[in-house]
Structure 1
């Protein structure tokens, strides 16, 4: 995969004619390769973000059609082009009567400075100010979720500070969001300029909070499974905690610490395909308190493993 390209198809390493299945296969492979939890390379996180961004666009039929239509002519500015602008038409797609396809990057810059920099006081503006309503800027923010919330989804309330005050936004978190995924909230971004000007969009980047029990890699989840020595030796059925609740798992006889037991489809759900898997990692734990009889039994067992002619001690 190219490291500097801005073309989403090149980011995923697929042809522009690639099917939705091809795109998902390429995304899953790259996400596993560049996820920061498994790749310590300094540039892996940025590549992981680019892979997620490309997948978000190309996996959405509407966004993909818009990207295919405008990116060849306008590159990274494809989002800014009004819907009714025809590629190849003369002149810039921005000017008087700019429509809701105009977007601005969120950030700390003054909104009027952004307008002046984009339009330069050209057609439809007097003294650098718009003569009609102009959509507000897009805004980016991070949202940190516990693994359980990423698994189940649900509604959350966010507080957003804007130039006109503070407002509360209700966010519907889809079940199965992964670290680095972007959620678009149309019309929840920065305030527009002028009467009846629509707001921009709000883009939330998901970050999964560190968890004391679960380790998440893409959609796969790993959890420790404590078992007693006799359970690991003889085999047993043990209960493992998963983000979706408790599940019984069979521990094969002769299991050692570190053995990974795969529970297919018990990881994070995937609204567009197969759910991730859960891996129960065997961890043999010794009993902390022994009665006199229990200690004698363990000593007798140890004696059966002693080398012939040697003391078990």
Structure 2
């Protein structure tokens, strides 16, 4: 059985903390997710990452893996300790890589049948899907009911069935983050796989998200930008009063510290000003524009 270095797969040291392992996994799975990645081997890499995290992300599996992997050498076979294969068949049929993955898929899932039912308990395949939420739901959290069409093995045939799940979206999620729904993947004799839901934000021209920071476009009237003053702005976390500095231009950013996406360290909210002119087909507006053209003839915005 070929030894697989799960720590190397996730790019972490063997003494990495559970939090470091989780961060590394999330970062890589976002990079290689088949829906967003342009890498040619995205599918294979995602499978490898899920397999590695399934072991290293579980304390019991990780402890067993560390114990078994203490002495492997490059090119050597993998040598389980005494009695490890009590409930598993270590025959030569099948690929060594699959055997290795199946071994750790069964740790913590209960012992397999003994006697005539011996052999590996195959864990079901993981499923991947995406879910779209509004920016405000990322602040408050939400509950969504999703519908999935998933393959089902029935009487030796594969059919498709509709499945509905209620998903709790925690506050502070970010675009590209994956939620893991344990046991909601494909069924298997060794237990079901997991469902990974990638978070996507519904398109909204007013908002742009970078990590935990949120950028919100705020229209202002020409006199508000020129003269300055307080304005009321409806943000994803509620209404706030902000002061627009005099002589502001389109693109100026006003930072509201800690009012970005929530979390242990919340992000910031940046209000990006956009000066909006009254249309010149309004009689009063046209009159004022003509007066400005005469009175401010020496002003040239291109100099």
Same fold, TM exceeding 0.5? yes
Normalising to structure 1: TM-score of the pair? 0.59
1:287 and 2:271 are equivalent in the alignment: no
Aligned pair 1:152/2:147, yes or no?
no
Match of 2:57 among 59, 63, 66: 63
Structure 2 unaligned spans of 5+: 1-6, 70-78, 104-111, 154-160
SS in 1 for 2:12: helix
**What is aligned with 1:101?**
none
State the partner residue of 1:235: 228
Q: Are positions 1:181 and 2:168 aligned together? A: no
Which 5+ residue runs of structure 1 have no aligned equivalent? 76-87, 99-112, 309-313
Two-structure CA RMSD over aligned residues (Å): 4.7
Q: 1:221·1:276 contact (CA, 8 Å) conserved in 2?
A: yes
Aligned to 2:72: none
Matched residues in 2 for 1:278 and 1:214: separation? 10
For 1:209 and 1:151, the matched residues in 2 are separated by 14
Cα 1:265/1:298, change in 2 over 3 Å: same
Instruction: Find the aligned partners of 1:280 and 1:269 in 2 and give their Cα distance.
Output: 17
Query: TM-score, normalized by length of structure 2?
Result: 0.61
Cα deviation digits, residues 37-75 of structure 1 (max 9, x gap): xxxx967xx8xx99xx89xx7xxxx93745763565678
**Does the aligned pair in 2 maintain the 1:147–1:243 contact within 8 Å?**
no
The residue number in structure 2 matching 1:118 is: 99
What is the rounded CA distance, in whole Å, between the counterparts of 1:18 and 1:198 in structure 2? Answer: 27
Quick one: distance in 2 between partners of 1:71 and 1:90? 11
Q: CA deviation at 1:253?
A: 0.8
1:163 aligns with one of 140, 143, 152? 152
Is the Cα–Cα contact under 8 Å of residues 133 and 199 in structure 2 kept in the other structure?
no
Q: How many residues align?
A: 243
Deviation, structure 1 residue 292? 4.6
Q: Summarize deviations over 1:211-249 as a string: whole Å, max 9, x none.
A: 332111112111211111111010132333433344332
Residue by residue over 1:174-198, the C-alpha shift from the partner in whole angstroms, topping out at 9 and shown as x without a partner, is 11211222212222222132xxx64
1:127-146 mapped onto 2 (5 Å cutoff): 131=118, 134=121, 136-146=123-133
**Paired residue for 1:278?**
269
Q: Does the Cα contact within 8 Å between 1:225 and 1:282 map onto a contact in 2?
A: yes
